[in-house]
A and B are shown apart, each in its own frame.
Chain A
């Protein structure tokens, strides 16, 4: 094992060690001990990732097996690493955001009784996510995939005394099962037709797969594989119609909303499709499917952000919409743009979530934006960083989000794949909507009249309430006359550290990532797809791009959104209410999230219950209880009787049984003669 290989191993194992220490010995090492070991683990992983990054920049990639778990027939199950530019970029993003969130958690979870458990979980998550991105085979990918899902489930239900949290984590779990089922089918198809689970081997057989049809159904094999895999991505990356779990996941503590449900885990689907680009490129049908799903998510989830009043839910819907943008980029073969947006989004969305968390701390765990306003005076750092995050999100020129989002829109514009027209409309309209809800939130929270301190129906707090105190108890709000104030440094430091890349990372990395050789040999774009090639021809450096951006439609759409938000919520706050009254049906539609939940509840949940009842009556009581259980019991009783008949304890009977046995065996001899 070379030194680099040891370093590869260190990256996932350091957070795992931290998770185990904090999880198993949390009581012994105490609260401070727990956060020190976990932060140390993640910091080591980040440092190692940086070293590996430099090594990869020097051109050293790695694809190999670490451990062969077992061989079954021709199939090998292995643990292996694939270290290439895509992997190392993901490693950096995951470890960096994770480190920020670890530090932030010290402040956010300060008084929570589950402090050690929380640190253990987020470190475990970091381990799982790293295993997922570093994998060189489908088995390990699936392991990481399920492991992050598990930790997500545990963290959404972190405050397990709350019925809403339990409902939300169950929902996330069930919806993800639907996606994972598709994902598993896809992996199964690949294993069945290629006999391998290793990426490189499967990709090498890509054209072979493209030429085949599936047995029995006659469907084109590659399309079936890609759509199945993408269904997995839809579950994990919350694409319509499997998006319903993500808004509810906000029941979990805010740090994990930032880490898992914004920056990393939900982008696993995007990462996976980008990784599988050699397969997806072979099927136009699958790409169109990806494109339409992504475009629908990008626009229609954005609409929902407009009517939300819970600060975290606004950010959650904006995450859904941005994931839609990434998916659109995948659909038009602009994989590198998708991954680029993934990266910039990870920074600014984590920033926005942590900013929202900071506001929530300041508001003493009141999340309703209608009770905020004018916070800029009291929480200056949170205010500035949130503004920067919002500007990045709406794609203001020179900010990180601008470069990635504009590239996606341009790529859609250049694409000729079926569905590209619809997608272009969606992403353009989405820009306006994004700007509108982002700045609606920004104005409602940080500017305007101070609406906090009013008695808003929640139970009050005593005046001697310690300001530092952050407790698990939800919905306190501020007491009348109490003022919010800035969060402690462990909270604001990550905000500042995340704000830096949110502003500059696009400017510095767009050239190598989108138009340079960074992803060469990793991401594959077929010759029949445009991808980013037309864009590359028009690209004359990041400054020129930003200046040109000032004259394009997306910029003015975004500005329109900002201005409209300002007008509605700062100048004439009576207008939104009037609109709401006039377009009551539309509002009801948005308020109920297009009735997806209701639909699922009636059709899927109700249907399952109906089937379950039928199976229970016919299958359980009839067949299993009647035939299998009681039948087996009868059979066993009968056999026991028979064997007792023989197993008498009398020696001569035993000997007799042996002689009978020999006689039976002798029939073979008779057969031969």
Chain B
């Protein structure tokens, strides 16, 4: 059974899902920091 490619696929998929989630968190954090900064300067 040539199963090694399925093993690679599963491990890569796992870390891809976690990386995507981390990416969305970083993006949300940057957006919120920017919004907070804009609030501090009266939206300018």
Q: Do A and B come from one complex?
A: no
A residues lining the B interface (CB < 8 Å): none
B residues lining the A interface (CB < 8 Å): none
